[in-house]
């Protein structure tokens, strides 16, 4: 029994059974560590050593949640929602609703793509942009699973294909560097121009999955309750009493620009969120005595997401400590023989198991490149095919993993009114529509290129 496979199966199984993802990650790590030959003390030690890696992201989520709640007090979200609702009219036809729905999905997709390449703020925009739109989505009876798939595509596909922003980091600094480092002794060298060409094949599979999700799987209307979002847990807030006003709108725009600017300048989502929150406070958007309640409410809204990220870092640390990642790959090689097609498929499936638990393609590549590149050379795969195999295997951890910020991010915005389940409404839809096409198109790219 391989510790990585068992641990991932336990984690995924418990998550699908609606057990808390944090609990599932901890139990999966314990089971994997014990099966991997570690003692309870060693497993807990490895887990504790790893949790620190997710603390920065967890604090960033909490700060952005506080900023999003503060923004909601300015009236800007209500104004945005009201303007969109006015486009529908009181008796909007089905065609008018469809136009607004697809315009909204298209706009969300463009913003998500921009967050990776043009204005690389990653998931920082989601807690600010998505909650105000939920009322409009409810009126349109828009299935939020389609929105989750749209967001995840925009957060994942662009950096896999475009060498700009986060794409430059993923393609050039991580994927290219690790493949060339692992292939140097084997005579394998990959150039920058090869990366977008190779990764275009699996990204094409994701694009197909997005079209299926939006126009087929989640095209039918879905009803949600019109619950208040974002500020319902704040003691001093009374829903509906805060109307949009000029000062609030101006300060909101300034705060958002400052938050994004600070993040781009310093690379810190935490500092950006704090600066935005402080500007709203100075601008009188909320009373000073309410600041602590607002901040606490926003952090509470994002608390689960943060703990999942922390637990995922501990899970990954335990998997690395067992040494069973390498064992999994080498045991798969014994089954393959000389069949290149089977080799490509098993490499992608092994990558899926490795990355589902880690939840980050950026963190996964250094692990799998050192193992997959020699295997690819051994089976006679071309440099382009090697890029496809390594890049696709890593991307499987971002699209469809319970611990990935590409699924946690959409959930953080869509679930502020507690009507969007992380596993069944974000993870399962993105897994079905992206991971399956990624494996299929990744295998095709490896065999053709």
CB within 8 Å of 295: residues ≥ 6 apart: 66, 69, 70, 277
| Rounded-to-integer distance, Cα 259 and Cα 352, Å | 35
Q: What is the DSSP string of 32-98?
A: HHHHTT--HHHHHHHHHHHHGGGHHHHHHHHHHHHHHHHHHTTTHHHHHHHHHHHHH-TT--HHHHH
Query: Cα separation of 152 and 130, whole Å?
Result: 13
Tens digits of pLDDT across the chain (449 residues): 678 788 888 887 887 787 877 888 889 889 988 988 888 888 888 888 877 766 776 777 677 777 777 776 766 656 666 666 666 555 556 777 788 888 889 988 998 888 776 665 677 678 777 887 888 888 888 999 999 999 999 988 988 888 876 777 788 877 888 888 878 877 888 888 888 899 999 999 999 999 999 999 999 999 888 766 544 444 334 444 455 566 667 777 788 788 777 776 776 767 877 888 888 777 777 777 777 777 777 777 667 667 776 777 788 788 778 877 767 766 766 667 678 888 888 888 888 877 776 666 766 777 778 778 888 888 888 999 999 998 998 888 777 788 787 888 898 889 888 889 888 999 999 999 999 999 999 999 999 88
pLDDT at residue 412, as a whole number: 83
Q: How far apart are CA 186 and CA 403, in angstroms?
A: 34
Q: How far apart are the first and last CA of the chain?
A: 34
Work out the angle at residue 207's Cα, subtended by the Cα atoms of residues 104 and 173, and round it to the nearest 5 degrees. 105
In this prediction, residue 36 carries a pLDDT of 86
Q: Would you state the pLDDT for residue 231?
A: 43
The predicted structure's pLDDT at residue 240: 43
Of 8, 3, 396, nearest to 209 (Cα)?
396
Q: Smallest Cα–Cα separation from 233: which of 413, 58, 55, 72? A: 72
Does the predicted TM-score (pTM) go above 0.85?
Answer: no
| Closest to 210 (Cα-Cα) out of 118, 113, 141, 100 | 113
Query: Alpha-carbon Rg of the chain, whole angstroms?
Result: 22
3-class state of residue 163 by DSSP:
coil
Longest dimension (CA), the chain: 70
CA distance 41 to 23: 18
State the DSSP H helix or E strand holding residue 432, giving kind and residue range, or none if neither. none
Asked if 251 contacts 74 with a C-beta cutoff of 8 angstroms, the reply is yes
How far is 256 from 235, CA to CA, in rounded Å? 24
Name the packing angle between helices 246-266 and 76-88 (round to 10°): 110
Contact predicate 343/379, CB 8 Å = yes
Burial category of 219 from C-beta neighbours within 10 Å (exposed 0-12, middle 13-18, buried 19 and up)? middle
CA angle 120, 123, 125 (to 5 degrees): 85
DSSP state of 185: G
Name the residue ranges covered by the structural domains of the chain: 3-219+241-448
Residue 245's pLDDT is 61
């Amino acid at each position: 029994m391989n510790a990585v496979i068992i641990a991932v199966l336990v984690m995924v199984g418990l998550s699908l059974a609606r057990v808390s993802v944090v609990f599932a990650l901890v139990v999966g790590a314990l089971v994997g560590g014990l099966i991997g030959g570690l003692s309870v003390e060693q497993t807990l030690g490895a887990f504790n050593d790893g949790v620190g890696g997710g603390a920065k992201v967890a604090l960033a989520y909490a700060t952005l949640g506080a900023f999003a709640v503060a923004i909601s007090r300015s009236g800007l979200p209500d104004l945005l929602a009201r303007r969109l609702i006015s486009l529908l009219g009181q008796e909007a036809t089905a065609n008018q609703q469809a136009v607004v729905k697809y315009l909204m999905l298209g706009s969300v997709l463009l913003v998500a793509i921009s967050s990776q390449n043009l204005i690389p703020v990653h998931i920082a925009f989601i807690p600010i942009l998505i909650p105000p739109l939920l009322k409009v989505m409810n009126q349109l009876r828009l299935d939020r699973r389609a929105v989750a798939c749209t967001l995840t595509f925009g957060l994942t596909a662009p950096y896999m294909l475009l060498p700009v922003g986060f794409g430059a980091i993923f393609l050039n600094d991580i994927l290219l560097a690790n493949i060339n480092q692992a292939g140097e002794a084997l005579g394998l060298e990959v150039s920058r121009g090869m990366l977008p060409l190779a990764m275009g094949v699996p990204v094409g599979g994701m694009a197909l999955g997005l079209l299926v999700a939006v126009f087929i799987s989640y095209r039918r209307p879905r009803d949600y309750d019109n619950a208040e979002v974002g500020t319902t847990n704040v003691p001093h807030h009374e829903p509906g009493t805060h109307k949009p006003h000029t000062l609030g709108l101006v300060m909101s725009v300034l705060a958002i620009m400052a938050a994004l600017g600070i993040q781009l300048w310093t690379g810190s989502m935490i500092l950006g969120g704090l600066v935005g929150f402080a500007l709203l406070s100075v601008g009188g958007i909320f009373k000073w005595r309410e600041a602590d309640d607002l901040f606490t409410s926003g952090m509470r809204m994002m608390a689960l997401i943060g703990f999942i990220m922390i637990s995922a870092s501990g899970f990954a640390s335990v998997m690395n400590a067992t040494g069973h990642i390498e064992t999994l790959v080498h045991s798969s090689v014994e089954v393959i023989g000389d069949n290149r097609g089977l080799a490509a498929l098993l490499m992608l499936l092994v990558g899926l198991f490795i990355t589902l638990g880690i939840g980050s393609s950026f963190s996964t590549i250094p692990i799998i490149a050192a193992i997959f590149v020699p295997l690819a050379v051994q089976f006679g795969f071309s440099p382009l095919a090697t890029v496809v195999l390594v890049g696709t295997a890593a991307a499987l951890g971002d699209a469809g993993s319970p611990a990935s910020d590409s699924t946690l991010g959409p959930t953080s915005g869509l679930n502020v009114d507690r009507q969007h389940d992380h596993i069944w409404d974000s993870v399962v839809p993105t897994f079905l529509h992206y991971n399956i096409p990624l494996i299929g198109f990744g295998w095709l790219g490896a065999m053709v290129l």
